[in-house]
Structure 1
Amino acid sequence: MEGQLCAKVDISVKKPPAASPLSFIALLKVHRELLVSRIRNTQCLIDNLIKNDYFSTEDAEIVVQFPTQADKVRKILDLVQSKGEEVSEYFIYVLQKVSDAYYELQPWLDEIGYKPSENICSKPVVNTDPVSRYCQKLRYELGRDSKFVTSYAQREEMLLDEIYSNSIMELVSFTNESLGQVGQLEALFDDTFGLINEDGETVYVYGDAGIGKSILLQKIQSLWARKELDIGAKFFFCFRCRMFSFFKEDEAICLKDLLFKYNCYPDQDPTEVFHHILQFPHTVLFTFDGFDEIYSNFDLSSVPEICSPNEPIHPLALLVSLLKGKLLKGSKKILTARTGTEIQRNIIKKKVLLRGFSSNNLKEYTAMFFKDERQQTLVLNHLEANPNLCSLCSVPLFCWIIFKCYEHFHSMFDSHELPDSSVTLTDVFLLMIEVHMNRSVKTSLLKNNIRSQAEMFKSRKDTLLALGRMAYKGMENSFFIFEQEEVSSMNISGEDLQLGFLRTVKGYSGCSSQATYEFLHVTLQSFFTALFLVIEEKVGAKELLEFFNECSFLETAQPTCLRIPWLKKQLAGEDPFQNKEHFNFTNMFLCGLLSGSKQKLFSHLVSPAVLKRKRKTLITYLGESMKSHLKGFTRSRLKSYNQVQVQPNFVWMLRCLYETQSEKVGKLAARRMHANYIKLSYCNAYSADCSAISFVVHHFQKRLALDLDNNNINDYGIKQLLPCFSKLAVIR
């Protein structure tokens, strides 16, 4: 494949008009200047000619005396031709066999149609070229390092080929206008497609945390190592940008040390290998992963821009010089960072936005993750039934977390069916938090990190409280954007920011140069708000139940969520289009975090007495509010039935009850509904809500009728209702 690197080089072979093929001596004479200009290494030729007794030591000494590489090649050609046809053919045979060293001549060999004779094929050829041997070592080491993916929770290793799935890569302009999607990875390096700055040197790939930037680079690395990435790269150097934060301010290294000491060191003649890299920078590919992870007090303005590859300087200055093209101009570079990271336009060649999984990508990933087709169908149906989970699955990290939840429950229950008490959204988010925190844990050399969920949460309690407090303050005012000052005032450290729960966004305060942040997903802010309400011991009953009241509408409207009279706020002038969903999610997560199954986990974070008090407050409220919540709904007396037409937010109430997984709450809700015909039509219920419906219906003492017309319920939803069919007289 590397032989294709010179496809752009115009090598024309002018065959003489003679009908018979040229002899090998004649071939070397006709193409003498081409060979002189394309042969970069003479030592490998000399070594093999000596090994097969075609050259004597005196011949080798004569060649070495010439000062320039071109003169050495000319002398070798003179000696080879003087020794006859067999030696001349063997010379060409070496060029063919050691393709890594003589890759620029491979098209010429193809064009002359060279096929070695039987006699020459029996002669050994040994690659002694330090450059090509270094390339082989690079491929071996990078191939080995990219073969496995350490899972996000750092508890298992998976084969890259068994876990990697394509995602949406969109080329964009400097103003983020779409320029088309990237189909093949080679297109990232194709200057005819998506180029926005012809003077730039770097392909800038960005996206949210967990969107797949690092694994994309690992895939590129793996393809290059297997010679399956046809982009003209002979050398590949990969760096994690965070390493540049660990150098001291007074440290200085040269480019040669950066490449070899922090990647792969040549076994032979590093000087010659480095000289080759300097001569042919277009054959070098760099990847720099996580530019946003560089945290250093080093002042780049304190040192001049460097253009000399031999002068020692601070590693950060080296990095910047590489990205700008001051060093190794013409080399290929990919730089990744999270959305919102500011990168100088003058270094950007292309800008690529990672958007995560499309619906087709998700199906492909599901098929890779779950080998059993029944499990694949089950999971895809469940995601289709639950738009909240499905939207999270567009982010590869979240998708992996959710799939691990499914896998966990499949293994627990030894079944292809999800159990009735299956994965709640609270379970998914708790695992998500654990995964992100696990990624930050330092591990010993060659040792995996094994830590229980309770231990992990306990060790990062201060971080959880700080993030939760900021989420809560924002939720109180429906703020989703946080200035740097707010982040700092909450004692959220740089290390906390690296966990990936927050992402930077473009500032909303005019020309402010300070960073602005938001939670990775609005539901994540709701989760941290609920988490704060649980683990902050000073939170009282009023604050605990605050967001249930936020879901109320104007007095003239029917109440559509659980209301607390003594928390009622003045709603005059309220924005009628305000989205209340973030409050609903907060309430739902609060119910899940205070459920009985989570008490053991949170007993490590908050005193049992406080936890018991909060749980009692919530359960008492849920039970008592059900009756008043249903009072305002339209009721009808039918033959044998007392019908109630509920409102759409009744579904949110059911979701909250389901998250508690409390038998007591389920029985209280069923007893206080005072109806035996529940009309849930036009309530925007999804199939996943059938689990919550079944949870409450299961606790009814008498049989009832259930109307689910005009909702988004498929066969999966009907399956979730099966456990409560014995309680139903009618279902629509």
Structure 2
Amino acid sequence: PLLQAPLTFLSFPGGEMCTQEAFRAQRSQLVGLLVSGSLEGFESVLDWLLSWEVLTWEDYEGLRLLGQPLSHLARRLLDTVWNKGTWGCEQLLAAVREAQAGSQAPELPDWDPHSPHPARDLQSHRPAIVRRLYSHVEHVLERAQERGFISRYEYDEIRLPVFTSSQRARRLLDLAMVKVNGLAAFLLQHIQELPAPLALPFEDAACKKYMCKLRTTVSAQSRFLSTYDGADNLCLEEIYTENVLEIHPEVGAAGAQQRGPTTLGLEELFSPHDHVNQDADTVLVVGEAGSGKSTLLQQLHLLWASGRDFQEFLFVFPFSCRQLQCMAKPLSVQTLLFEHCCWPDLGQRDVFQFLLDHPDRVLLTFDGFDEFKFRFSDCERHCSPTDPTSVQNLLFNLLQGNLLKNARKVLTSRPDAVSALLRRYVRTELSLKGFSEEGIELYLRRCHREPEVADRLISLLKATSALHGLCHLPVFSWMVSKCHQELLLQGGGSLKTTTDMYLLILQHFLQHASPTGCAARGPEPRLLQARLPTLLRLGRLALQGLGACCYVFSGQQLQAAHVDTEDISLGFLVRARRAVPGSAAPLEFLHITFQCFFAAFYLLLSADLPPSSLRHLFSCHRPGSSLMARLLPGLCVPGAWHKEDSVAALLQEADPNNLQITAAFLAGLLSQEHGDLLAECQASEKTLLRRRACARWCLARSLHRHFHSIPPAVPGEAKSMHAMPGFVWLIRSLYEMQEERLAREAVRGLDVDHIKLTFCSVGPAECAALAFVLRHLRRPVALQLDHNSVGDVGVQQLLPCLGVCKALYLRDNNISDRGICKLVEHALRCEPLQKLALFNNRLTDGCTHAMARLLSCKQNFVALRLGNNHITASGAEVLAQGLRANTSLQFLGFWGNKVGDKGAQALAEALGDHQSLKWLSLVGNSIGSVGAQSLALMLEKNMALEELCLEENHLGDEGVCSLARGLKKNSSLKVLK
């Protein structure tokens, strides 16, 4: 409460209402009550008295003199109220009660935003308006200054640091009462549009001091970008670029099949949208390694700490899962928040009690759940916030809501690490897709302030589709920015694979660490050879870490792996983010993918590893099992942390996703492209050749085994292969090796009609790998890539395999007109392609000219589905031209667009004499009676159409009657809905 002392100690004789005499008798207690809080509490009492017109404006101005002692102002208020009689005394007590109940936000009643008396309305609703302005006063002040309602001097005076947000809001309202330039009317209208307030903020000194300290701590942790390179102090505000953040409609929900994903901004993270579980507290953000999850959380923290967003939370506690799992001792919620995030300097008990009493004002973020070695479980319930338990049990119960229920939690993870059990406790699940094409360009321009350098880099990317596809993951955009000199020097055309990029960044770091560091045209064998002992030590540390699910390394662990300060100085190991306060700063690799890369480097060049032990590395495996857990027992690494443990034993608990990345890197390092480079580092060229042969054989065999496991086709249906993400990684490994003959041999045994890769996190890089392998298929297949992240660049990467596709399904893939126009241009030369499914993308009228050309030129084309895009009547008219020249189309899906009556008329006229179309959907296209009449005339002529779908339009009685008349002359239509 704003006033700390309770009002109940005031007693009036005989239980009578307050009289002036009784009021005077209690004067000293009333003074004590009014000064028991702070100036904020006193001003809140004045707000109520002003709104009830107990105080005149003159009275109020005499009570808000700056610099006066609060006790002096309290006594002056009592004198003023006393002079107003019994009614005034009673109203003061009522105002005190309202101020003491200040945690309950006053309701803001509806009013006319165009009221002829805006200043009077502002005063009448002053308490609610102050509360409504609390979190938005900075924004409103800026708008008022931009519109010329307040001067720069008035703006600066209101924003003086000595004022709280509430006090700034009051001074803005005070200004509106005396200015006659329209400020009051502006505020009246603008305040109506602000979101509803939460409870009033606390005024407890210990809590306020703690919140201030927490904001300062979080601000210091998040102000500089440290996600990838600890060597650069990049200001996050200057470099941060929005990623594509999507929320998908809940599977099975009404209309979910017709709706695509919704793109959100970071500020909408907690806004009302589709909820998986309305009663849960956890927001889950999933994304592939390098998609920018950590940076997104860092931006959230900075926005909160700087007061620019997420101000509904008074406390934000950031945690890293890779750091949490290093905590061996049992701990409680209080220990977690105070000892491992921010310690209260005073009133620990009061602060913690406030957190427990107001969990809705608390946000906890947990970054990198995929790096938490403990598997989620809800078996062990723990509900005491003060009793200690294991770190995994504490985290799991926080996520379930058994601890700090109603406190919001944000959890980031790679998709495969999130189990179905954990999803039961998720309120909302969001997907982080990485940069859009515009995002890549914006990021590079922010990294390079010289426009010429940025322009050259962007032009290079656009001319190199493989490299452009990789850059949709921010980690690759960072690499391109970091290595811009090398890329511009060598052109970038030879860079195709992930391994190519990581070898480039390796070269960059080695050159900068060498005495004669300068840009070279490619990786230099001598540079690698000179640093080989260092690279092997880092590789051994990386592999040991993967085997133990350890991603943060203490000084003792570094010493055991013989990693010294010279090795650290290369820059691949950096200070861990959000290190535990008071402990020596541990180190971590720049990014988890760098740890995997160094592990692969060690597996390739270590003399301890027999070539035959690679045979299990590329095996298809059950979810949850380790890719390398079956390495030969003889593979022992000197200097391991536990002497009795071999690497094979350590890897039994390794994360399979990290080992898949390692397998792909190993395949890339074994490619012919990098053979000469690594032969210089390998004592025995024969050993290197044996390892390459072993890897080639293993990859081909694993794919053949995968193909042979496909069940036979159901009688009457096409044989289908529903691939899993593990299959995608095998394809990625083949692509990393860049061997055409191997790709041809790998798919030789594939005998299916339909390849389904839905929800497999297929992005542009995966599209390049799929095209590299699938183009060698002996007969055409239907390729289904629904619900992925293909995008325009991914479409371009798929073009080489379009010749073996008889159908291509690209639903929910964020594809625009640009990507589809490229696809159609290539499809005109691909005879087998007969079907395209493109619903739930970003298509507009701009793609319809290409579509019309496709229909008019390909007379074997049978199905085109364009539902739930943004095509209007103009686009429908263009498409109708292609339909007139087409004689083969059987299925046309147009639902969820905006063709209207005019578009329906154009389509109906084009289809009147069409002899092959069997199915037409125009659901949800704002078609009225005029369009219905045109469709009725089409039905009178068209004797091929069997099903017509017109739900969710506005046909009206006249339109329905027209269709009924058309049906009388139609003998082919079987379904009309």
SS of equivalent residue, structure 1 residue 356: coil
SS of equivalent residue, structure 1 residue 204: strand
Matching residue of 1:198: 278
Deviation at 1:430, TM superposition (A): 1.3
Matching residue of 2:814: none
Q: Aligned partners of 2:665 and 2:601: how far apart in 1? A: 17
Asked if residue 240 in structure 1 is aligned to residue 330 in structure 2, the reply is no
Q: Deviations over 1:277-324 (max 9, x none)?
A: 1111111111001112122499874x4x22222222223222122111
Matching residue of 1:365: 443
Q: Aligned partners of 2:616 and 2:771: how far apart in 1? A: 15
Deviation at 1:36, TM superposition (A): 1.3
Deviation at 1:227, TM superposition (A): 0.3
Matching residue of 1:676: none
Matching residue of 1:384: 462
Match of 1:337 among 405, 413, 417: 413
Structure 1 pair 378–314 and aligned structure 2 pair: CA distance change class (3 A): same
SS of equivalent residue, structure 2 residue 629: helix
Match of 2:489 among 418, 421, 427: 418
CA contact (8 A) 1:170 1:179 kept: no
Q: Deviations over 1:507-546 (max 9, x none)?
A: xxxxxxxxxx7448x9756414437996685354795599
Deviation at 1:404, TM superposition (A): 1.7
> With structure 2 as the length reference, what TM-score do the two structures score?
0.41
Matching residue of 1:538: 687
AA partner of residue 193 (structure 1)? H
Matching residue of 1:188: 269
Q: Aligned partners of 1:570 and 1:265: how far apart in 2? A: 58
Structure 1 pair 499–155 and aligned structure 2 pair: CA distance change class (3 A): farther
Q: Aligned partners of 2:241 and 2:690: how far apart in 1? A: 47
CA contact (8 A) 1:471 1:528 kept: no
Matching residue of 1:223: 303
CA contact (8 A) 1:370 1:376 kept: yes
Q: Deviations over 1:169-215 (max 9, x none)?
A: 0012554977644433221111x223221111100011111111111
Asked if residue 450 in structure 1 is aligned to residue 523 in structure 2, the reply is no
CA contact (8 A) 1:202 1:333 kept: yes
Q: Aligned partners of 1:545 and 1:427: how far apart in 2? A: 21
AA partner of residue 101 (structure 2)? S
CA contact (8 A) 1:526 1:585 kept: no
Q: Aligned partners of 2:746 and 2:286: how far apart in 1? A: 43
Structure 1 gaps, min length 5 = 1-10, 41-95, 117-126, 411-416, 505-516, 552-560, 587-647, 650-681, 684-732
Matching residue of 2:657: 503
Q: Deviations over 1:68-115 (max 9, x none)?
A: xxxxxxxxxxxxxxxxxxxxxxxxxxxx99876xx7898788778899
The within-5 A match list for 1:226-625 is: 226-248=306-328, 251-296=329-374, 301=379, 303=380, 305-343=381-419, 344-407=422-485, 409=486, 418-419=489-490, 424-425=495-496, 427-431=500-504, 442=553, 449-451=568-570, 461-464=601-604, 484-490=625-631, 503=657, 518-519=660-661, 524=665, 526-530=667-671, 537-540=686-689
Structure 1 pair 428–331 and aligned structure 2 pair: CA distance change class (3 A): same
Q: Aligned partners of 1:109 and 1:569: how far apart in 2? A: 77
SS of equivalent residue, structure 2 residue 431: strand
Q: Aligned partners of 2:651 and 2:309: how far apart in 1? A: 37
Q: Deviations over 1:592-631 (max 9, x none)?
A: xxxxxxxxxxxxxxxxxxxxxxxxxxxxxxxxxxxxxxxx
Structure 2 gaps, min length 5 = 1-46, 64-76, 82-90, 105-159, 179-202, 510-537, 543-550, 557-564, 574-593, 633-646, 701-737, 756-765, 774-799, 802-828, 831-977
Match of 1:37 among 91, 101, 105: 101
Q: Deviations over 1:444-466 (max 9, x none)?
A: 69x99313899999897544569
CA contact (8 A) 2:312 2:361 kept: yes
The range that moved more, 339-348 or 204-213, is 339-348
CA contact (8 A) 1:482 1:518 kept: no
Q: Aligned partners of 2:412 and 2:767: how far apart in 1? A: 35
Match of 1:171 among 244, 247, 250: 247
AA partner of residue 283 (structure 1)? R
Matching residue of 2:897: none
SS of equivalent residue, structure 2 residue 338: helix
SS of equivalent residue, structure 1 residue 503: helix
Q: Aligned partners of 1:39 and 1:582: how far apart in 2? A: 58
Structure 1 pair 194–281 and aligned structure 2 pair: CA distance change class (3 A): same
Structure 1 pair 113–366 and aligned structure 2 pair: CA distance change class (3 A): same
CA contact (8 A) 1:281 1:331 kept: yes
SS of equivalent residue, structure 1 residue 311: coil
Match of 1:162 among 234, 238, 254: 238
Sequence identity, in percent? Answer: 23
SS of equivalent residue, structure 2 residue 247: strand
CA contact (8 A) 2:245 2:265 kept: no
AA partner of residue 197 (structure 1)? N
SS of equivalent residue, structure 2 residue 404: coil
AA partner of residue 286 (structure 2)? Y
Matching residue of 1:212: 292
CA contact (8 A) 1:481 1:518 kept: no
SS of equivalent residue, structure 2 residue 416: coil
Over aligned residue pairs, what C-alpha RMSD do you find? Answer: 5.3
CA contact (8 A) 1:293 1:498 kept: no
CA contact (8 A) 1:146 1:221 kept: yes
AA partner of residue 418 (structure 1)? L
> With structure 1 as the length reference, what TM-score do the two structures score?
0.53
CA contact (8 A) 1:139 1:225 kept: yes
AA partner of residue 35 (structure 1)? A
Matching residue of 1:606: none
Structure 1 pair 395–433 and aligned structure 2 pair: CA distance change class (3 A): farther
Q: Deviations over 1:639-690 (max 9, x none)?
A: xxxxxxxxx99xxxxxxxxxxxxxxxxxxxxxxxxxxxxxxxx99xxxxxxx
SS of equivalent residue, structure 1 residue 195: coil
Deviation at 1:128, TM superposition (A): 8.0
Q: Aligned partners of 1:570 and 1:282: how far apart in 2? A: 55
Matching residue of 1:15: 51
CA contact (8 A) 2:629 2:652 kept: no
Q: Aligned partners of 2:423 and 2:396: how far apart in 1? A: 13
Structure 1 pair 16–156 and aligned structure 2 pair: CA distance change class (3 A): closer
Q: Aligned partners of 1:229 and 1:494: how far apart in 2? A: 47
Deviation at 1:234, TM superposition (A): 0.5
SS of equivalent residue, structure 2 residue 386: coil
Q: Aligned partners of 1:468 and 1:583: how far apart in 2? A: 31
> How many aligned residue pairs are there?
475
Asked if residue 129 in structure 1 is aligned to residue 283 in structure 2, the reply is no
SS of equivalent residue, structure 1 residue 189: coil
Q: Aligned partners of 2:412 and 2:266: how far apart in 1? A: 15
Deviation at 1:155, TM superposition (A): 3.4
SS of equivalent residue, structure 1 residue 246: coil
Q: Aligned partners of 2:747 and 2:468: how far apart in 1? A: 34
SS of equivalent residue, structure 1 residue 205: strand
SS of equivalent residue, structure 2 residue 393: helix
SS of equivalent residue, structure 2 residue 687: coil
Deviation at 1:378, TM superposition (A): 1.2
Q: Deviations over 1:337-358 (max 9, x none)?
A: 1121124223201101110011
Deviation at 1:497, TM superposition (A): 11
SS of equivalent residue, structure 2 residue 101: helix
Q: Aligned partners of 2:281 and 2:767: how far apart in 1? A: 46
